[in-house]
Amino acid sequence: MKLDDVTELLPESIQEIAHLIGYPAALALVTTFGGTTLAVAMAVTDKGVANFQYLAEAIGQREAEILTRHYGGDVLYIPRCYTALQELRDRELCRRFDELNAEHSANWTVQQLALHYKLADRTVWRILKRPSRLAVPEQPALF
């Protein structure tokens, strides 16, 4: 998954964080801490060092240092980024459908994808039929 493919669907706070530490680390941050409030420790006290280490394990040492320099002492809400992550999942599902469907029936492929993504087969069909959230709408003809 590449979070930078769906930048327009990300909250501004995560776009700012991604600009600082990169999209892969921002994805790790959202995956680990999404939906929670994160106290960005200064790593001065024992508790601060432990919190910093936990952050570093999730996103990387260098990235944790950058976040600490920029937000140290602050409390950040890390959004879940549900819409962006769902769009990434749906794109991956469609890509895998195209690959598998080249050698198998559509029904078999949908069943396999439903099992893999833990979705109902009807949900997989719905995903396959809907346009991307970032698709450019067609312009109506003038004549």
**CA–CA gap between residue 143 and residue 136 (Å, rounded):** 21
What pLDDT band is residue 44 in, cutting at 50, 70 and 90?
A: confident
The domains of the chain are located at: 3-80, 83-129
Query: What tens digit of pLDDT does each residue of 77-127 get?
Result: 999 999 999 999 999 999 999 999 999 999 999 999 999 999 999 999 999
Backbone angles phi, psi at 81, to 5 degrees: 55, 40
In 10 A of CB 103, how many CB atoms?
8
Q: pTM to 2 decimals?
A: 0.80
Residues 12 and 77: beta-carbon distance below 8 Å: no
Across the chain, the runs of DSSP E, i.e. the strands, are 36-39, 75-78
What pLDDT band is residue 131 in, cutting at 50, 70 and 90?
A: confident
| The two three-digit tokens of residue 96, written as one number | 């895998």
